[in-house]
Amino acid sequence: MNMDKLRVINAKTLNRDYKIFIKPGLRLELPEIIQDTLKLKGFEKIYLVTDNTVMSIYGETINKFLEKMPFSYRFFALKQGEEQKSIDNAKKIYEDMLDFNLHRNDIVIAFGGGVVGDIAGFVASTFHRGIRLMQIPTTLVAQVDSSIGGKTAVNINNVKNAVGTFYQPHLIVIDPLFLVTLPESEIINGMAEVIKYGAVFNKNILLCIKELAVSVKSGSVLKGVLSDTRFYEIIHKCCKLKAMVVKKDEYDTGCRNLLNFGHTFGHALEKETGLNLLNHGQAVAHGMLMAADASIISGIAKVSLKKIFTDIYSLLNMPEKLSLNIFNQSLNKAGKGMNKDLSTEAAVKKIIQSMEFDKKFSSKSNKFILLKEAGKPVFVYNLDKGILYDAIKNNISGEIK
């Protein structure tokens, strides 16, 4: 199979149909793609949102692409980090858009990872009640997951995605060659989402990842897997799965919830570590192990389920246990530590409390996505807190006090 050919996925939703282009080196074709695919009438200006890290690596690529376009342009570069996905930064972008006199017929381009895509999408969905949006994801998590499906959001008071909209993009362009410059922490960030697709929808994805990992003979296993051209097919499979699920459930009221496997635990971990000591994918990676344990403890799955995850984590050199030190670092950074570290028990209780902010919780009920086995997810309601406690505790390394 030719991994270098152009792949096109036709994403269909109630509000908008759009194309997802996937091909290595596609960044060099951006001007032609935009003009040939979007065929925008009254299109005069481009507003590109990125971050400082992407600019430092791909600034020349961005400038060359914009200069080839026969339109006025401006770009806004955020600092890097989940905490940048804030209302304050959204306000700054709104003000800059107004200063640029951007109109509804113009286009916002999100050029970066999940944080850039989320905040640029949120701003695009609300500026003039909706302006055209194009996603050019540069990280693995954005390429296989967050750029697809129209979820946009900003965080408030360390509550992840507290305010957001559903707003489908008009075009997504995925160039896997962007991934070669990612640090290992960002590869783990995205690999967690890839593993999620395999765990929930297609266990062959897990088998492919293991095969690629075993084939790496030297250097970083994570980078070796990512740079293997066979991995492009995994990206394509994940994108097709995401587009399929979004078509069935655009507004996340049914089967799209399955994409949140590991995320209820993960979002709570992010909140308790201040959104900056753990990136999203690392939190989800730990969250999937917690969800696997909850599946086993509740009697839904066999003990062997967790080994599917730990085997892959081991091959990829991904951490299996979350260090208790991360919670204490977060407390001390926030000035709340009072020179007294949390016990494992206290950390677990704080994580469970944070889960109550999750959208899948109400005052009287909760909902989790667990697994009967790989590829067979199940919704579980009102999971006992004792099961949650044990599932979380099992995956934190630290002394029980």
pLDDT in tens, 192-234: 999 999 999 999 999 999 999 999 999 999 999 999 999 999 9
CB neighbourhood size of 382 (10 A): 10
CA distances to 152, 294, 311, 350, 391 from 385, in Å: 30, 10, 28, 12, 10
Write down the pLDDT at residue 272. Answer: 86
CA distance 401 to 398: 9
Question: What ranges in 69-179 are assigned the alpha helix state H?
Answer: 87-100, 114-126, 140-141
- 264 CB contacts (<8 Å, ≥6 apart)? 287, 291, 355, 358, 360, 368, 369
Write down the pLDDT at residue 331. Answer: 67
CA distances to 100, 147, 176, 367 from 87, in Å: 20, 20, 31, 28
pLDDT in tens, 45-87: 999 999 999 999 999 999 999 999 989 999 999 999 889 999 9
Q: Is 195 helix (H, G, I), strand (E, B) or coil?
A: helix
Write down the pLDDT at residue 363. Answer: 55
Q: Which of 90-99, 103-112, 360-369 has the lowest mean pLDDT?
A: 360-369
Over residues 21-25, the mean pLDDT reads: 96
Write down the pLDDT at residue 336. Answer: 55
Task: Determine the residue type at 325.
Answer: N
Q: Is the pLDDT of residue 400 over 60?
A: no
Instruction: Report how far Cα 384 is from the mean position of its chain's Cα atoms.
Output: 28
pLDDT > 90 in the chain, percent: 77
CB neighbourhood size of 98 (10 A): 11
Task: Determine the residue type at 277.
Answer: L
Over residues 17-40, the mean pLDDT reads: 90
Q: Is 91 helix (H, G, I), strand (E, B) or coil?
A: helix
The DSSP H or E segment spanning 77 is strand 72-78
Q: Are 292 and 301 in contact (CB under 8 A)?
A: yes
pLDDT in tens, 367-397: 999 999 999 999 999 999 999 999 999 999 8
What is the reported pTM?
A: 0.91
Q: Is the pLDDT of residue 398 over 80?
A: no
Write down the pLDDT at residue 401. Answer: 44
CATH 3.40.50.1970 residue spans of the chain: 7-181
Q: Is 39 exposed, middle or buried (0-12, 13-18, 19+ CB in 10 A)?
A: exposed
Write down the pLDDT at residue 157. Answer: 86
Write down the pLDDT at residue 210. Answer: 96
Write down the pLDDT at residue 366. Answer: 85
Write down the pLDDT at residue 278. Answer: 84
Q: Are 174 and 235 in contact (CB under 8 A)?
A: yes
CATH 1.20.1090.10 residue spans of the chain: 184-397
Over residues 354-368, the mean pLDDT reads: 73
Over residues 102-127, the mean pLDDT reads: 96
CATH superfamily for domain 184-397: Dehydroquinate synthase-like - alpha domain (1.20.1090.10)
- 88 CB contacts (<8 Å, ≥6 apart)? none
Q: Is the pLDDT of residue 399 over 70?
A: no
Q: Is the pLDDT of residue 1 over 60?
A: no
Which tokens belong to 226? Answer: 């990512």
7-181 to CATH, choices 3.40.720.10, 2.30.110.10, 3.30.365.10, 3.40.50.1970: 3.40.50.1970
pLDDT in tens, 117-154: 999 999 999 999 999 999 999 999 999 999 999 999 99
Q: Look up tokens 């799209």; give the residue.
A: 256
pLDDT in tens, 296-352: 999 999 999 999 999 999 999 999 999 988 878 876 665 555 456 788 898 999 899
Q: Is 250 helix (H, G, I), strand (E, B) or coil?
A: coil
CA distances to 6, 60, 124 from 194, in Å: 21, 30, 27
CA angle 119, 183, 221 (to 5 degrees): 130
Mean pLDDT score of the chain: 91
Over residues 260-289, the mean pLDDT reads: 89
